[in-house]
Every structure is written in C-alpha cells, then in structure tokens.
Amino acid sequence: MLKLIALWVSLAILLVTASVSIYGEPKGTFIGKYFRVTNMSAVSDNANSTNIIGIVKNIGNKTLNGAGVVVELYDFNNRLINVIEYTPVIVKTLGPNEVSPFKVWTNTRSFDHFVVRIVGAID
C-alpha cells in the first residue's frame, strides 16, 4: 500500500540588508524521520530569477517513488506570496540512503523565507 508523504522543511532566511529581497547565499539543513535536506540555498542567477537548490537524502528504510519538491515563498509578514508546484528531483526514485539534488526556478525575487515540501509515494 502506498502512503503519500509530504514533509515540511522550513528555512528562515537571514537577510544581508534591510530589504526582503534575496541577494545573499542563505543556507540551511533539515533532518526529519524519513529525509535529510542539506545545502538549501536561494541563489539569484540573474536580474529576474532565483533558484532554490538543495540535496535530499532518504534516511528512512523505504523507497520514495516520484520524488519531488513543492516550494512556498513567504514575505516578511509570513504571508504566502507564491507556490512553485511539483518539481521533480533529479533522481525520481530514492531508495534508502540515496541522494538527489533539486533545483526550483522562480521569477519571484522579493521574498523573506521559503518552505520546501518533499513529496512522493512511499512503498
């Protein structure tokens, strides 16, 4: 029986200026029951977009099929300003101890923090 799983990974971004725009290189790590997410960053790649990047590791004993991420962007007042729907990770099936990088593109430049959800079906 497949169980759907959605783990919330929250990263409060430390700003390098008083602005709510992301121009620094914030980093974060999350360790949960089934997954570890490391090297999370919001990186500006040009004047119009930002990439949310990181590495997901399956630290559980079950396989995650159709692995992907959903990213929610929030402003300084914790209001949701954008949701980037399901984006597959590079390796779509993550067995125990397997890792995969992810990269989510957004043209939303001014946000304070983001939440990453790991989604998929566990066998």
Structural domain for 15, as ranges: 3-122
**What's the one-letter identity of residue 46?**
N
As a whole number of angstroms, the distance between CA 103 and CA 76 comes to 23
Query: What CATH number is attached to the domain comprising 24?
Result: 2.60.40
As a whole number of angstroms, the distance between CA 55 and CA 51 comes to 13
Q: Which two tokens stand for residue 102?
A: 């992810």
As a whole number of angstroms, the distance between CA 1 and CA 64 comes to 13
Q: Which two tokens stand for residue 92?
A: 């779509």
Q: Which two tokens stand for residue 121?
A: 């079906």
How much is the pLDDT for 30? 66
How much is the pLDDT for 28? 56
As a whole number of angstroms, the distance between CA 12 and CA 28 comes to 8
Q: How many CB atoms lie within 10 A of CB 108?
A: 15
Per-residue pLDDT of the chain (123 residues; tens, 9 = 90+): 344 444 434 333 322 222 233 444 445 566 677 888 888 888 887 767 888 888 989 999 999 888 888 888 888 888 999 999 878 888 888 999 999 999 998 888 788 888 888 888 887
In the chain, the number of structural domains is 1
Show the beta-strand stretches assigned E in 32-112: 35-46, 49-58, 64-74, 80-88, 93-94, 99-106
How much is the pLDDT for 22? 42
